[in-house]
């Protein structure tokens, strides 16, 4: 009988406790399937004296170095943040111990970049969805050209609940926090930075290059009015992350989008995540599931622990002809169809003035309507669907329109996904 695989677990918060719970439930079946007996031998926390349901007090320690230098075979990191996670993982690797992490912020940071390719990190992107494995292993023989994802569960939850109830972004975000989805700092979710970190990591796996700048637009300006308009026009508003390898350039962007109801991402609701992969050989693949939560994240961590215990360490895709310049420059200005909303005073000819300003920049219109804002007498909205236009032309047109005396606030521009 081989000896158990001894796991040093860093963190006993949501994810750490989920890991202990799932391992407790599944240790026997994992051993039956893989021949590996997995056992947690130490758990790092800040305060080892605190009672933690489901965690034996004798396992707890506040001394991280004793874990990474001590008698364990694998280190699993579920602390979050940069330090001490980074230095403990680096020390574990120096001691020849494989490491598994759920920490996307660390991997995406400059400080954590040395860990990429050395730490297995399935749990760090879209939790339970095995997208890292799919890109590293399942598609290693293929050429991925495009990824379109819903990578932030909080934003998807917020936009889904806005569509269901007509409530505001602030109210639905509060609900997401109450249910424990939202990041402690809401701007990581709402302003798109969390999705951008995940997209950059996925693009690196998919295209084998360090991702450059991600163009990020959050969902902060979105109002119930926009969610309602999407539905009326045959779309659903989703927080989308998009990466395309255009050969010479890599296009990476995160933004809200009008998604046609027939699109595979349209039915991904509430806190679920999804990634749609296009590859030359495989065609279109859709991955969908729980992108956060204790047990979904633990499921991915356990899969990585089994992989390293079987002697399959983290690996980096080596493309046959890696590009000379690994960090590619700013993406080219894109083109897209757009939904536009202008909050306006209810004055005669307002649609005409906006349409003229758009036309001057060669932004042509496929639909325009004006609606009154019942809660604001004398005010309303002009909503426009624009044919495909360059982002640059649209930006100039919006600047022109914001100088017109008819607007009561900032305009909203949302891309329409093809």
Ligand X SMILES: NC(=O)c1ccc[n+]([C@@H]2O[C@H](COP(=O)([O-])OP(=O)(O)OC[C@H]3O[C@@H](n4cnc5c(N)ncnc54)[C@H](OP(=O)(O)O)[C@@H]3O)[C@@H](O)[C@H]2O)c1
Catalytic residues, which ones? 198
Out of 5, 7, 9, 15, which residue is the one contacting ligand X (CB under 6 A)?
15
The correct pick among 7, 9, 11, 236 for binding ligand X (CB under 6 A) is: 11
Shortest distance, position 10 Cβ to ligand X, whole Å = 7
Does residue 254 interact with ligand X by CB under 6 A? no
Phi, psi of 4 (to 5 degrees): -65, 155
- CA distance readout (Å), 185 to 77, 116, 177, 192, 194: 21, 25, 10, 12, 10
- Does 293 engage in binding with ligand X (CB under 6 A)? yes
Q: Is 91 in the site for ligand X (CB under 6 A)?
A: no
- Looking at beta carbons only, is 53 or 281 nearer to ligand X? 53
CB of 413 to ligand X, least distance (A): 31
**Quick one: tokens of 285?**
């693949």
Q: Is 47 in the site for ligand X (CB under 6 A)?
A: yes
Q: With CB under 6 A as the contact rule, which of the stretches 103-111, 164-172, 275-283, 351-359 interacts with ligand X?
A: 103-111
Q: Which pair of structure tokens corresponds to residue 148?
A: 């379109």
Q: What is the DSSP letter of 136?
A: I
Site string for ligand X, 158-197 (x = CB under 6 A): ----------------------------------------
Between 194 and 251, whose beta carbon lies closer to ligand X? 194
218 in helix, strand or coil? coil
Cβ proximity to ligand X: between 98 and 380 the closer is 98
Q: Which residue is nearest to ligand X (CB)?
A: 13
From candidates 119, 123, 236, 305, binder to ligand X by CB under 6 A: 123
**Per-residue contact string for residues 266-285; x = within reach of ligand X by CB under 6 A:** --------------------
Q: Which of 7, 14, 212, 254 contacts ligand X by CB under 6 A?
A: 14
Alpha helix ranges (H) inside 98-185: 104-108, 131-133, 153-165, 169-178
Q: Compute the distance between CA of residue 301 and CA of residue 287 in angstroms, rounded to an integer.
A: 18
- Is residue 343 part of the contact set for ligand X (CB under 6 A)? no
CB neighbours (10 Å) of residue 16?
27
3-state helix, strand, coil in the chain (%, to 5): 35, 25, 40
- List Cβ<8 Å contacts ≥24 apart for 291-294: 291/126, 291/127, 291/128, 291/129, 291/150, 291/151, 291/152, 291/153, 292/127, 292/153, 292/181, 293/14, 293/18, 293/127, 293/128, 294/14, 294/15, 294/17, 294/18, 294/21
Site residues for ligand X per CB under 6 A: 11-16, 44-47, 78-80, 84, 102-105, 123, 127, 292-293, 297
């Amino acid at each position: 009988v081989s000896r158990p695989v001894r796991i040093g677990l860093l963190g006993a918060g949501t994810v750490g406790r989920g890991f202990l719970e799932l391992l407790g439930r599944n240790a026997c079946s994992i051993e039956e399937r893989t021949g590996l007996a997995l056992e947690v031998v130490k758990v790092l926390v800040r305060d080892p004296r605190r009672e933690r349901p489901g965690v034996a007090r004798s396992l707890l320690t506040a001394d991280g170095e004793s874990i990474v230098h001590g008698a364990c075979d694998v280190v699993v990191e579920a602390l979050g943040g940069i330090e001490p996670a980074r230095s403990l993982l680096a020390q574990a690797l120096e001691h020849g111990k494989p490491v598994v992490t759920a920490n996307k912020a660390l991997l995406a940071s400059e400080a954590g970049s040395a860990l990429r390719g050395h730490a297995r990190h399935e749990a760090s992107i879209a939790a339970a969805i095995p997208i890292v494995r799919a890109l590293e292993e399942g598609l290693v023989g293929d050429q991925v050209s495009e990824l379109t994802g819903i990578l932030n569960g909080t934003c998807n939850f917020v936009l889904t609940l806005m569509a269901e109830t007509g409530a505001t972004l602030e109210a639905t975000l509060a609900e997401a926090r109450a249910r424990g989805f939202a990041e402690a700092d809401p701007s990581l979710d709402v302003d798109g930075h969390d999705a951008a970190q995940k997209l950059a990591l996925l693009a690196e796996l998919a295209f084998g290059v360090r991702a450059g700048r991600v163009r990020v637009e959050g969902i902060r300006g979105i109002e119930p009015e926009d969610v309602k308009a999407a539905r009326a026009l045959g779309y659903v508003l989703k927080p989308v992350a998009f990466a395309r390898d255009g050969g010479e350039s890599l296009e990476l962007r995160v933004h809200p989008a009008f998604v046609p109801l027939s699109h595979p991402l349209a039915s991904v609701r509430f806190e679920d995540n999804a990634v749609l992969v296009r590859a030359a050989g495989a065609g279109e693949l859709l991955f969908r599931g729980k992108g956060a939560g204790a047990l979904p994240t633990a499921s991915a961590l356990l899969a990585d622990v089994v992989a390293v215990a079987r002697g399959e360490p983290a690996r980096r895709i080596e493309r046959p002809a890696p590009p000379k310049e690994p960090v590619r420059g700013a993406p080219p200005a894109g083109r897209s169809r757009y939904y536009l909303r202008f909050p306006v005073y209810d004055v005669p000819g307002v649609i005409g003035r906006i349409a003229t300003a758009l036309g001057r920049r060669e932004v042509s219109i496929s639909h325009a309507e004006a609606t009154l804002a019942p809660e604001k007498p004398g005010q309303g909205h002009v909503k426009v669907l624009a044919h495909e236009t360059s982002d640059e032309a649209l930006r100039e047109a919006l600047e022109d329109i914001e100088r017109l005396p008819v607007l009561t606030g900032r305009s909203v521009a949302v891309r329409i996904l093809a």
